[in-house]
Structure 1
Amino acid sequence: MKINKLNKQICLFNSDTFSASLFELDYLQGNNLITGSSVGRGTTWFFQHQQKKYVLRHYYRGGLIGKINPDNFLYCGLKNTRAYKEFSLLEKMSQLGLPIPQPYAGRITKKNLFYQADLIIELIEGAEDLVAVLSRQVISELQWLEIGRVIRLFHDNNIYHSDMNSHNIMLDDSDKVWLIDFDKCAQRTAGAWKEQTLARLLRSFRKEKTKNSHFNWSEQYWEFLMIGYQQTN
C-alpha cells in the first residue's frame, strides 16, 4: 500500500495508474468515464479507467445517527479509519487468494476532528448479487454447495464479515462465487462469530423470501449450502 498525503487528504493506493482525480465525480463525468450507478444508502458509481472498470463508494453511516450525521466520522488516526481498514483487509484477502474485489484506492478527507472517506475497487465483471439472481431463476445444487464452500474458505482464514447477507454474495457469468462489502470486517481469532455469521445469512434468505414469494430459495437450499460449508476445503 502506498500513502500520499496532500493538505487534508490522504490517499491509499497500490497502482501506478492511480490519480486522486478519480475520486471526483465532476472529473469522472467531465471525461465521460461514468458507466453507471447504483442507489442504496448513497449512490455508488461505476466508471472505466485505462481499459479497466471500477466501483467508487462513499462511506455513510446507517441507522438513526445516519439521518443526523450521514458521513462524518471521528478521526482517531489513519489506521482507525474505515477506508484504511477495509483497504488493508482487501489487500490481505487478495494475498490469501480469496474471491474478493481487488482494492484500487482509498481516500480520507480530514475536517477538523472528523473525516469523510471513499473507496475504489475493481468491478467484478459479469457478476450479480444472489438476490438479483434468485429473483430471476433457480440455481443448481452444485452452486449452493459452492456458496457454502466459499464461505467456509473465508472462515478457515478467520475472516469475519460483519454483514453477511444475500446481497453481499455474488455469482459471475462463469458461476464463480464472490463475497463483497468488507466495511467494518476484520481477520479475527476463531470463535462463535462464525455460527453467528451463518445465522445472519439464513435470516437474510428468509427475509427475502418473505418479501418476494417468487424468490427462488427454500430451506432445502440452505441444507445444500451447509453441506458445502461442512466439507473440508
Structure 2
Amino acid sequence: MDGPGRRRGPRGDLSREAVLAAAERVLRAEGLAGLSLRAVAREAGTAPNAVYTYVPTMAALRNDLADAFLARLDLDLLLPEGSRGPDQPVGAGGPPEDPRETLRRFLQHVLEHFEGSPRLVELLAGQRVVGAGALALHEALLTFFENRLGWDLARAADATLFLTEWVHGHLVLGPSNAQPLDPDVARRADLSAHPRSAAALQLPAGAALGLPLRALFGDPAV
C-alpha cells in the first residue's frame, strides 16, 4: 500500500518527494523569483496538473519545500553523547554531558546546514513553516530545554523562539558584520563622539555561537 508520500497521481512514477526534489532544484538554480508550479512541472518532466496533486498551491509548495529542508537536520545531536534516549530526564543515568556543549554542537550543525543552502534560508525567512520537519525540530528543542535543563515549558518555548530568530538573524547579518570596516567610511564618521562604539569596533570578533549560549546560560566564559 502506498504511503502518503507515494500517493499515486496522474503519473504513476511521480511522488511528493519527486515534486519537492524538482522544486528544490528550481529554487537553487533560479531563486524565489523563478519558483512556480509550472517551473516545477517542467523540471519534473510532467504537466502542471500532475504537480497540483501533491502541492495544490504555491503556499503549499513553499511550506512543504521548507519543511523538507528542516527535516534533514540531525536532531539526535541534541541528545547527550551516550544518552539512552531523547526523554532521559535531568539526573538520570551517568554524568550527563554539559548541555552547553550539546547545544553548541547542534547549533554548529544547523549553521552549516543552512549556510550551504542560502536559497532555502531565504524561503524559510519569508514564512512560518508547519509540517513534520518543523514540528520535530520544535519538539526536540523543547525536550532539550525541559529535560536537560529542567526549565518549564514557558521558558523552554522562549528559548526555542530565541534560537530560531538568532539563527535567521545571524545568517542574514553575519556575513556583513564579518567584513572589516572600510577605512574611508570610518574616516568620514565622527567616531570621537561615540567612544564606546569606537572601542567596540576595535575588538576582535567573538565566536558566533558564544552569543546565543551566553544569552541563554548567562555564563561569560561560554
Q: TM-score, normalised by structure 2?
A: 0.30
Structure exhibiting the larger radius of gyration computed from Cα positions: 2
Kindly indicate which of the two structures has a greater share of residues assigned to helix: 2
Kindly indicate which of the two structures has a greater share of residues assigned to strand: 1
